[in-house]
Structure formats: C-alpha cells, structure tokens
Amino acid sequence: MAKPTLADKDFLTPTEAAIFFGLSRRKFYKLLEGGTFDFMAMYGERKLIKEIIYS
C-alpha cells in the first residue's frame, strides 16, 4: 500500500503543513507558539493541523 500524499491526509504534523504550504518550518512553528487556533487539534502534547484549512 502506497503512502498517502499530504493532500490526502485528514491531519498534518506542523512540519508536513509547512511543507504543504511552502513555508519555513521555523516561521510556522513560531506561528503555532502563539496559542491554539481553530485549525489546530491537540493530541496529547502534539499539535496537528486539521484538513479543513488546506482543502
């Protein structure tokens, strides 16, 4: 079974989201440090980016 592409995933890690949007990881992580957002889902301590923002 082939790995799903970033566009096919329901949730992305911050690193995957930065790659998907063409942003630097440093700037994207800096944005996420500002708090919680509607496009973010917390899984324990991990921050995940919801599919709705990139669809």
pLDDT class of 1 with cuts at 50, 70, 90: confident
Measured from the Cβ of residue 15, the count of other Cβ atoms closer than 10 Å reads 11
Question: What's the pTM value of the predicted model, to 2 decimals?
Answer: 0.78
Output the pLDDT for position 44: 92
pLDDT tens-digit profile of 2-16? 888 888 888 999 999
Q: Give CA separation, 53 vs 3, 7, 10, 38, 42, in Å.
A: 21, 11, 10, 9, 15
pLDDT tens-digit profile of 11-54? 999 999 999 889 999 999 998 888 778 889 989 989 999 876 65
Asked if 47 and 14 count as a contact pair (C-beta separation under 8 A), the reply is yes
Q: Which domains does the chain have, with CATH numbers?
A: 8-54 (3.90.105)
Cα 9 from Cα 26, distance rounded (Å): 22
